[in-house]
Structure 1
Amino acid sequence: MRGADLVQPARFKRLAWRIAAVALALISGLVGTATFAGQVATGDPLAAYAARIVGDRARTRIVMEFDRKPEVAIRYIGKPDRIVVDMPSTLFTFPEADLRARGLFRDIRYGSMGAGSARLVLTAERPARLVASEVMANEGGEGYRLVLDAEMVSQQDFDALVSDQTWMSASAEAATSAQRGDRIAATEPAVPGAFVIAIDAGHGGIDAGAAGATTKTPEKEITLAFAKALLERLKGEPGIEAFLVREGDEFLSLSERVTIARQRDANLLISFHADTLRQNNIRGATVYTISDKASDRMAADLAERENLSDAVGGVSLSSEPAEVSDILLDLTRRETQAFSISLADAVVRSFDGQVALINNPHRYAGFRVLQAHDVPSILLELGFLSNKEDEKLLLDPAWRTKIADLLAIAVKRYRLPVVANGG
């Protein structure tokens, strides 16, 4: 009886996390989604209910415990050096502190990649490779554990790992896109003559973005709430058709966001964000447009952080196609940039006196989500989650409605001269 008593706590813990995982799945609408890599559907996602990490800067071990057996795919991506572990749809229910980066890894991220898959991204402090990766049954036959043993290698050896499996990485990205129901090349065309607005909620899935100073609310939830509010506000506007680039808690690369906007023939792209700053006394909204040269240091730092979204999600930047530069393309880009600046000015005018703005509220930097050469685009920093006053407003439904109303005014103010000029 005593031996059985020793086993019961572990069983109860696994059962508790299992119940919690099912409940979360029902709430988030994940039940019944497709499974990863042909795994037999069981009606709900896996639950990763425990994790631990040990080691030093030479060798590091990561262990994750699951309620059921996960099928995983491992690959390497450079610049920055990362080990990416793809797995089926998974709810990560263990405390964040249990898998805090240490040893060989300077950053560890995990989360959803969409409806059918999840991902663990290990960003290396120094080049590393997995010398062992194994999925094994737990003692007593209840649950499974994934064990990842990493060791440091030379940069040359790591680059060789990346090079030797580049073709696998590309196919893995394609498989992951297909698993989550890729919306690229599967979008409905806009109504003829409609003025189309792509509303982009920044971050999502594995990339949670910033977190509130007081509530710890992730940026990805705030941006999606504002995106939905603007979509609802624009529904009744004649001649305007709006859509969400990111519809739920899914990860989309920056390139995918741009491609979705272009394939829906968007006339505008508005990307929502709510970042943090080291100086928690700074607050207010900012509107950004794209430029090769940043307007100031804060804009440059913000663009650098936002452009890291792909690294957080384990995306290989080298797989993205480069645009061919020619005179016509350059002229189109210049015209688009001028329209983007016009839109930014319209937003600032609409917000002025109604919404707190930082000094010089129209700024510019090299944001990759604004890079479409033929879609006027702005990035709207709604406020800073590092500031308690801004955070309170960002969580206020009435404030979201007000922002949506003011943005609708700005869009209509921008649209009139554009339509009059045949844009």
Structure 2
Amino acid sequence: MCGAALGAGASGACAVSAQPPSELMVAYAARVAGDDARTRVVLDFDTRPTFQARYISNPDRIVVDLPATAFAFAESDLKATGLFSDIRYGSMDANSARIVLTAQRPAKLVSAQVLANDDGKGFRLVLDAELIPQQDFDQLVKEQAWGSEPQPMTIAADSAAAVGSVPDEYVIAIDAGHGGIDAGAAGATTKTSEKDITLAFARILLEKLKKEPGIHAVMTRENDEFLSLSQRVVLARQKGAELLISLHADTLRQGDIRGATVYTISDKASDHMAAQLAERENFSDAIGGVALSDEPSEVSDILLDLTRRETQAFSISMAQAVVSSFEGQIGLINNPHRYAGFRVLQAHDVPSILLELGFLSNKEDEKLLLDPVWRDKVAGLMVDAIRRYRAPVLANGG
């Protein structure tokens, strides 16, 4: 559908004539890029635009109001993608215009700013939206105090704050792998879904971490729902995570391989098995209808440059702490710390590990993964690993 012209007197076309009235501000170019966790909308103007933004529910929408504007770009330039199922724009009356961004899932603007173009000609309005929980969007709508005229919003980049945490607490995000339409692997004997095992273990770990002083634990998913890999990263960051632990229990063709493994991110896999495992885990997005090829080139470039050195060093330190805590207590595979290009570990600013609790393709591992006593023991060992990881920082008063 056309980025539809708005207003009672509008025609079916969104673009205006090639020679718009001189009093109109002209939006001469537009583009949109992103995925279902974060999306950027950019419009280029011949003069500096002013704007106001607000939120409307049922359906969930972000509304951006502008002065009188001639939209002179091709309809296809602002085709809905990423977070948005529909993008409409056009005149409201002689003095105003509007952009309506209809979200597929609740979203908020984390950055909205007007920048001068690098060539010195014109300005661009840059809108960065991110996925948020439904209750947070509902609260945004509720807190708005506007009547017939929308109130201006002042939004700074990276303004999203952790919800429910205390400033001095160390926030850990527990990511139960798979969920919803993506069941993950299945047990060799019981056919139990990986998504159920990871969620059950995540809940046990959450309860143990709640008892740890100075730690605030959160979960990326609390029930059987699908989250894309990118959504998991964004949600962890929005919750203020300083460490992300992604839980899995995969299958291998070799049914005799068993034991826990901990992975960190790397452009180059440590071995063939790690590479294959990363490929299968990254396929979760395709199962849920999310295609990596849909992401803009700048996002893909970021995915290739997965972590900065400091974050990578912290991730490796946490992986080593897990191995040290598990050794002699539960079974580990040979070379238990491995690495590959797992997209769920892509956050450049959040140390992250992926823990394979065991392999559902091995009957003995499957029995353990379904054993409440074993789960409780491993969760306790994870808490010990987190203490080991944090010990150097706490010793220095951090």
Name the TM-score class by shorter chain: 0.5 to 0.7
Which of 288, 308, 318 is the matching residue for 1:313? Answer: 288
Residue identity matched to 1:355: I
**CA 1:213–1:238 in 2, change beyond 3 Å: closer, same or farther?**
same
Change in Cα spacing, 1:409 to 1:168, as seen in structure 2 (3 Å) is closer
Among 244, 247, 251, the alignment partner of 1:276 is 251
- Among candidates 82, 100, 105, match of residue 177 of structure 1: 105
Kindly report which structure 2 residues correspond to 1:351-362, keeping only aligned pairs within 5 A, or say none: 351-362=326-337
Render the CA deviation track for 1:133-191: whole Å, top value 9, x for unaligned.
Answer: xxxxxxxxxxxxxxxxxxxxxxxxxxxxxx99952665239744239x95289461521
Q: How many aligned residue pairs are there? A: 258
Written as runs of structure 1 = structure 2, the 5 A alignment for 1:222-301 is 222-301=197-276
Contact 1:213 1:386 in 2 (8 A): yes
Query: What are the ranges of 5 or more consecutive residues in structure 2 without an aligned counterpart?
Result: 1-75, 87-101, 108-130, 137-161
Pair 325,254 (structure 1): closer, same or farther in 2 beyond 3 Å: closer
| Closer, same or farther: CA 319–185 of 1 in aligned 2, 3 Å | farther
Deviates more, 1:384-393 or 1:330-339: 330-339
Question: How high is the sequence identity, in percent, across the aligned residues?
Answer: 71
CA drift at 1:324: 9.9
TM-score by length of 2: 0.60
Cα 1:193–1:320 change in 2 (3 A) is farther
- Aligned CA distance change for structure 1 residues 192 and 364 (closer, same or farther; 3 Å): same
Distance across 2 between alignment mates of 1:292 and 1:388: 32
Instruction: Give TM-score, length-normalised by structure 1.
Output: 0.57
Structure 1, gaps ≥5 residues long: 1-162
Structure 1 pair 318/190, CA: closer, same or farther in 2 (3 Å)?
A: farther
Q: Does 1:387 align with 2:300?
A: no
Decide whether aligned partners of structure 1 residues 307 and 280 sit closer, same or farther in structure 2, where only a CA change above 3 A counts: same
Structure 2 Cα separation of the partners of residues 320 and 185 of structure 1 = 27
* Offset at residue 214 of structure 1 (A): 0.5
Query: Against the structure 1 CA distance between its residues 336 and 221, is the aligned structure 2 distance closer, same or farther, given a 3 Å change threshold?
Result: same
1-structure distance, mates of 2:306, 2:396: 17
Q: For residue 192 of structure 2, what is the aligned residue in structure 1?
A: 217
Q: Distance in 2 between matches of 1:356 and 1:395?
A: 15
For 1:205-231, what per-residue CA distance to the aligned partner results, in whole angstroms no more than 9, with x for missing partners? Answer: 010000001000010000000100100
Distance in 1, matches of 2:134 and 2:315, equals: 24
- The DSSP-based 3-state class of the residue aligned with 1:363 is strand
Listed one character per residue, the Cα deviations across residues 76-107 of structure 1 (whole Å, up to 9, x for unaligned) are xxxxxxxxxxxxxxxxxxxxxxxxxxxxxxxx
Would you identify which runs of 4 or more consecutive aligned residues in structure 1 move more than 6 Å?
none
Retained in 1: the 8 A contact 2:248–2:356? yes
Which segment drifts farther, 410-419 or 194-203?
A: 410-419
1:23-422 equivalences in 2 (<5 Å): 167=80, 170-172=83-85, 175-178=103-106, 182-183=132-133, 186=136, 188-320=163-295, 322=298, 333-421=308-396
Bigger Cα Rg: 2
Shift of the 169–241 alpha-carbon distance from structure 1 to 2, 3 Å rule, reads closer
In structure 2, the partner of 1:104 is none
C-alpha distance in structure 2 between counterparts of 1:185 and 1:289, whole Å = 33
- 2:316 partner SS: helix
> In structure 2, what residue type is equivalent to 1:265?
G
Q: Is the 8 A contact 2:261 2:358 kept in 1?
A: yes
Q: Is residue 184–residue 256 contact of structure 1 (8 Å, CA) maintained in 2?
A: no
Note closer, same or farther for the CA distance 1:277–1:372 as it changes in structure 2 (3 Å cut).
Answer: same
Mapped partners of 1:176, 1:351: distance in 2: 42
